[in-house]
Structure 1
Amino acid sequence: MPVRRLTAALLTAALMLALTAVPAHAGGPTLVVRWNQAMLTAVRTGTLGPPLVARALAIVHTCAYDAWAAYDAVAVGTRLGGSLRRPAAERTQANKAEAISYAAHLAAADLYPAQRATFDALMADLGYDPAAPASQAAQTGLAACRAVLDQRHADGSNQLGGYADTTGYAPANAPVVVSEPLTTLAQPGRWAPLTYRNAAGALVTPPFLAPHWGQVASFGGSARALADAVPAPVPYGSAGWQTQAAEIVALTAALDDRQKAIAEYWADGPASETPPGHWCLFAQQVSARDRHGLDQDVKLFFALTNAVMDAGIASWEVKRDHDTGRPITAIRDLYRGSTVPTWGGRSVDGASWVPYQPSTFPTPPFAEYVSGHSTFSAASAEVLKRFTGTDAFGGQAVVAAGSSKVEPWVTPAQDVTLRWRTYSEAADQAGLSRRYGGIHFKAGDLQGRALGRAVGEAAWNRATAYWTGRG
């Protein structure tokens, strides 16, 4: 069974390490898994945030799928349909592998140009030269990928403009300095930037991450419509607003070691594979567990990564629509001047309350409602459940004693093993982890899960239409 083992000696990397791979079958990880691993390496060393990472993963695996489809008797590509289909005599595993690799390399280098050496090294290890794509398979893979890149360069993400906002978003509130008690907040129900010192010791005030992301073209075609159907959050000043804040205060004050371990295991913050990549790690485990071949993994990662891309689009659309404040500002505003209990057995002035998060990344820089973690995870679980034909997972992770980044060397007091019987159970825990961490309110979590399930179903239906030739 796969286990993520964290030790105190690796404290600085705790909870951001890749899950230890399940021992693979005799052939080792498939070519698709190897490209996914290379992408996750780039993600961890890059600077893209979760929805941007989800899109990058989807583009690479869509290019791989479209290249593969040219060597399948039925499947059609997402951009060029069946126009690239090669004769039956050419539909060999070797040609599929070569076409996929040239396509994946082109896409990966386009998305993470600073990490090109990683992708070049994998090509060399596979026996391919990206500078000499002379074969028919290489040309087919490149043609398939170029069509995808042409479409995605104009998909609303503004990749070619460095992903800069295209909507003119401006926060309703001035930055809140985390290390100082809150005194005033112009619009307490709205999102506020936070000022704090990051892991490098620099004083930073991150802007809202990709406020234009709801405009990105979705794979399933319905991400925006599904987002617009999400119920509105409780309004500022209502009884519901006060209740959800009180719930987080009480929940975080009563955290036990297992709950703290859950909050940190699923955090997937800076320098990690991020939530979309976390579910790719689970898919790698499924590939090894179920002894997948190349064809299976092309389809699995194609469906999964496009589901997480659409999850990012849909959840960011909701975030931008409502622009809701995070618990850190809502609680400070509601409880300033009052003493409140908090994690670690302490009591603080409500104006200084902080969530159970590392001080170097106290809260992600975007609106609260809905939870991206919940949406990414529920969408991923939906695809994995449908692809494997069962919700059974059987995954686990071990969070080692003392490995906490919030309470280093102290928490947890003993190793904590997290187990998930099903993909759905893992997704639910991912969503709940954000409430334990003081990052999201209950409704943001639960509505994110519901949105993710709907997004995952739509992406699955579109993916299966492509590989069954219905396009």
Structure 2
Amino acid sequence: MKVPSLLIAATMLVPTHAATPPPPNMALRWNDALLQSVRTGTLGPPQVARALAIMHTCAYDAWAAYDTVAVGTRLGASLRRPPAEHTRANKNEAISYAAHAAAVDLYPAGRASFDALMRELGYDPADTSSTAAGIGARACSAVLTYRHTDGSNQLGGYADTTGYQPVNTPMKVSQPLAALNDPSRWQPLTFVNKAGVEVTPPFLAPHWGGVASFSGQARDLADAVPRAALYGSAEYQQQAAEIVQTTAALTDRHKAISGYWSDGPSSETPPGHWSLLARTVSQRDRHTLDQDVKMYFALSNAVMDAGIASWETKRDNDSARPITAIRHLYKGTTIRTWDGRDIDGATWTPYQPSTFPTPPFGEHVSGHSTFSAAAARVLKRFTGSDYFGASAVVAKGSSTVEPGVSPAQDVTLRWHTFTEAADQAGQSRRYGGIHFRDGDLRGRALGAEVGQAAWDRASAYWSGAAS
């Protein structure tokens, strides 16, 4: 059995049941294909979440034409085909043409691999003359037309449309903190990336809160989130002290949790990670094509809305990351760091690779927490239970922060429930030193609400109740 790769050979995901799963259906095949482009691409988490949602919405809308009650998101029931045509072959063809169109639009650099998959499946990607191919093409065209003007600025390379400028000048991570205009606010970081180039990434997609959400509720839910602690408050000092203490006391298990959920550059990112976890649910429960089309439709749109909601909150708060707060508060004070050294607090670094010390956007709220809680809520609703029962092995020495050193032995992470997995994903960012407690916990609460709203909307579409 081929087990999905979650983190570049550092881990292995283990499904609950040992029985050989059925061959991957079209929903799984196209999900896998898009994730490969995600890994080799440069889009950040909110853009990846949107890309997955678009492809799975195109697949769902094409599939809905071959269901007796489901309606599409853009064209309603206008594409409905007669019951005699509701065959597996027609669904496969319509889904593939829809998914292919979406994938090429979202990741044009991957066209050759997407075309190759079509040919492997027995389809000519340039020929949409058959009824099923035409259904797929029309369904996806309507979705893409809508999403090209959804506020993401995809056609403009996802560039910011709001004119955001940071109030703080960049901090060079290799040097002690010097100037800081406002300790409450986000600060860009300058560091040497994996390619050996010194970079200062700007705030990623500060306009993302304005992207049209699937449920229509993401922004309102985000705007109700309590604000981040401000400099000068007891809460601000306490949250920084907690991160200093937490990272100084990391065990190998804590480090393994941080690494497993990190989902940084060259990975599936957090949205794609949950797509892989959902794949194990499909294998565990031996899903049909119909089930997986609906599951991924609901899941991907919930995760897209989680990205919109968390980025709306991040932009509104524009809050400092731990590296800024700790270096400012502890400058001139000796503190213990995660590798056991006593250092000047002005040089503190989180438990992250030096080539990507902290993601380039505000702290409050945690995207990992929001994405994960939204995904967990959808999977719980779809399966009818919070039970997950999966595990992952983090290999000895696989840490990207301490390669060859941590963990000293293989570490097995187990999640009895989806909620446990989501909570661990949120906690991992505190172990990693890049999120505060409030950013994590409020992100979890926001994600659960966003996931529920997306679930309600998705299930209304496939039950035929959506207008």
- Return the TM-score normalized by structure 2: 0.97
Distance across 2 between alignment mates of 1:97 and 1:5: 25
Displacement after TM superposition at 1:237 (Å)? 1.2
Matches of residues 324-363 of structure 1 in structure 2 within 5 Å? Answer: 324-363=319-358
Tell me which of 384, 395, 410 is aligned to 1:415: 410
CA–CA distance in 2 between the matches of 1:30 and 1:5? Answer: 18
| One of 115, 130, 138 as aligned partner of 2:125 | 130
Residue 26 of structure 1 and its aligned partner are, at CA, apart by 6.0
Gaps of 5+ in 1: 7-11
Which of 267, 288, 297 is the matching residue for 1:302?
Answer: 297
Distance 1:161 1:261 in 2: 38
In the other structure, the counterpart of 1:150 is 145
The answer to whether the Cα contact below 8 Å between 1:391 and 1:424 also exists between their aligned partners in 2 is yes
Match of 1:74 among 65, 69, 75: 69
Structure 2: runs of 5+ lacking an equivalent = none
User: Quick one: which of 233, 239, 245 aligns to 2:240?
Assistant: 245
2:252 to 221, 241, 257: 257
Q: Equivalent of 2:111, from 113, 116, 121?
A: 116
Q: 1 CA distance for matches of 2:261 and 2:210?
A: 27
Cα shift readout 1:216-248 (whole Å, capped 9, x = no counterpart):
000011000000010111111101000000000
Give the distance between the partners of 1:126 and 1:18, measured in 2 at CA: 28
Residue 211 of structure 1 aligns with which residue? 206
Question: Does the CA-based 8 Å contact 2:14-2:390 persist in structure 1?
Answer: no
Q: Deviations over 1:281-340 (max 9, x none)?
A: 011111111001110000000000000000000000000001000000110000001111
8 Å CA contact 2:162–2:207 kept in 1: the answer is: yes
Shift of 1:4: 7.7
The AA in structure 1 aligned to 2:291 is: Q
1:33 equivalent in alignment to 2:28: yes
Q: Distance in 2 between matches of 1:336 and 1:345?
A: 18
| Residues 98-148 of structure 1, C-alpha deviations (whole Å, 9 max, x = no match) | 000000000000000001111111111110011111100000110000000
Q: Are the aligned partners of 1:18 and 1:281 in contact in 2 as well (CA < 8 Å)?
A: no
Residue identity in the other structure for 2:300: T
CA distance in 2, matches of 1:331, 1:314: 27
Map 1:6-45 onto structure 2 (within 5 A): 13=8, 15=10, 19=13, 25=20, 27-45=22-40
Q: Which residue of 1 aligns with 2:226?
A: 231
Is it true that 1:439 corresponds to 2:439 in the alignment? no
Q: 1:445 to 1:168 in 2, by over 3 A?
A: same
Deviation per CA, 1:257-281: give whole Å up to 9, x if none: 0000000110000000000000000
Identity of aligned residues (%): 71
Q: Which moved more, 1:22-31 or 1:92-101?
A: 22-31
1:210 maps to a residue whose letter is A
Q: Does 2:425 match 1:430? A: yes
Select which of 366, 373, 378 maps to 2:373: 378
Distance 1:4 1:258, change over 3 A: farther
Aligned to 1:183: 178
Q: Which residue of 2 aligns with 1:314?
A: 309
TM-score between both structures, scaled by the size of structure 1 = 0.96
- The one of 446, 450, 468 equivalent to 2:445 is 450
Correspondence for 1:56: 51
Structure 1 residue 18 displacement after superposition: 7.5
- The answer to whether the Cα contact below 8 Å between 2:4 and 2:276 also exists between their aligned partners in 1 is no
Change (3 A) 1:407 1:321: same
- The aligned residue for residue 60 of structure 2 is 65
- The match for 1:400 is 395
* Residue 13 (structure 1) shift: 4.0
Residue type matched to 1:453 in 2?
A
* Paired AA for residue 129 in structure 2: A
- For the residues of structure 1 that align with 2:5 and 2:115, how far apart are their CA atoms? 30
Aligned pair partner of 1:469 in 456, 459, 464: 464
How far apart, in 1, do the equivalents of 2:168 and 2:239 lie?
A: 21
Contact 1:226–1:314 under 8 Å retained in 2: yes
TM-aligned CA distance change 1:196 to 1:418, over 3 Å: same
Per the TM alignment, residue 442 of structure 1 is displaced from its structure 2 partner at its CA by: 0.2
- What does residue 9 of structure 1 align with? none
Alpha-carbon distance change, 5 to 149 in structure 1, aligned in 2, over 3 angstroms: closer
Match of 1:221 in 2: 216
Aligned 1:68-107 pairs, distance under 5 A: 68-107=63-102
Cα distance change of structure 1 residues 26 and 3 upon mapping to structure 2, 3 Å threshold: closer
1:380 and 1:2 map into 2 onto residues whose CA distance is: 23
Partner of 1:367: 362
Check whether the contact 1:24–1:291 (CA below 8 A) recurs between aligned residues: no
The RMSD of aligned alpha carbons is 1.6
Distance 2:140 2:392 in 1: 36
Distance apart, 1:173 and its partner CA: 0.6
Deviation above 2 Å: which 4+ runs of structure 1?
A: 1-6, 12-15, 17-27
CA distance in 2 between counterparts of 1:24 and 1:197 reads 46
